[in-house]
Amino acid sequence: MKLFNKKTIAAAALAVAATLTFAGCSAPAAEPTAAVGLDSGFGKRAEARDAYFFTYYNPAGDAFWAQILKGGEDAAKLGNLNFTHQTAEGDSAAMVNLVQTAIATKPALILMPFNEGEAWVDVACQAHDAGITVIAFNVPAPASAGACVSGFVGQDFYTVGTIIGQNLLDSGAVAKGDKVQITAEEPDQPYALQRGGGVYDVLKKAGVNVLPQSEWLRTGGDDAPALDALTTYLVANPDVKVMVPVGGTPHRNLPAALVAAGNTTTKVMGFDTAPAIIQGLKDGVILATADQQGYVQGFQAVMQGVLSLDFGFSAANINSGGNGLITKDNVANIEAPDLQGVRW
């Protein structure tokens, strides 16, 4: 649990103890000593300042989700929130349980992604009906969520997918007839369908042998099985010209999988940033990556919550950007050591 307003040590200890009963909760952090809140009322006008921030994958083992969490934490500090982070560890049912448990504590804000789409609409609407402001990030809520979700911060997945596909063509990385495989943690989730769909539509139109969604390679969200799945595929398919990972897990594991498979010809172009992806760009194994700017997603989602609490502003749908590609030529712009955890 991250507590960012002034509480007594006893209260903090009780709060941490309560949080540790939930799956995947974060460790306690020191309280800030600087004064909080602005003269305008930002950060202090509303008395209710409890916020729950849920991640689908665990930021402790996933560099991209760590960027999202860092953005959320920084905004929570600025907005003087009592900020609790919990992760579902890639388990859809766990996310439902975590949100339902949070609702019982009557927080002011719930911030959550919608990786599993419809599976989480009901619990989001339960929160809304309880008077809790719900803001989505990373993956938007389905239309069926209606007014239950106030706003969203994230990337236009399909559009960026088309950018990746067109870059593969324009750079000469693929041509008519070349075999291209799309891989994702969960190929049937909305983010994968939209990103992969953008890539697929552009390449298919150009006559590239891009495999259909029914054949996309599933890796799961954990690194070890992802590495195994990718290595096995590459050994069995040495003719694949390009692998397009539409999620961070397969992307950061592909450089190692290529080495393990003894493959020196297949190239990679995908999404998100992580240390292994940065190194892959520098080594020339990864041609480019689309940075969906996870820090922005966490920061802007929480910031919208603060503005709603203190001033009554309506949350909006915000594109987190990242439409430009990171390549070997410009990767130095983001790889500063002090930006690790924020930009990569």
Do 2-155+293-322 and 157-290 share a fold?
yes
Segments making up each domain of the chain, as ranges: 2-155+293-322, 157-290
Exposed e or buried b for every residue in 304-343, given b needs 16+ CB within 10 A? Answer: bbbbbbbeeeebeebbbebeebbeeeebeeebeeeebebb
Predicted confidence at residue 113, as pLDDT, reads 98
254-263: pLDDT as tens digits:
999 999 999 9
309-341: pLDDT as tens digits:
999 999 999 999 988 899 999 999 999 999 999
In this prediction the pTM is 0.87
Give yes or no for residue 29 having a pLDDT over 70: no
Architecture of domain 157-290: 3-Layer(aba) Sandwich (3.40)
- What's the whole-number mean pLDDT along residues 147-154? 98
User: Is domain 2-155+293-322 annotated with CATH 3.10.620.30?
Assistant: no
Give yes or no for residue 3 having a pLDDT over 60: no
Predicted confidence at residue 323, as pLDDT, reads 87
49-97: pLDDT as tens digits:
999 999 999 999 999 999 999 999 999 999 999 999 999 999 999 999 9
226-236: pLDDT as tens digits:
999 999 999 99
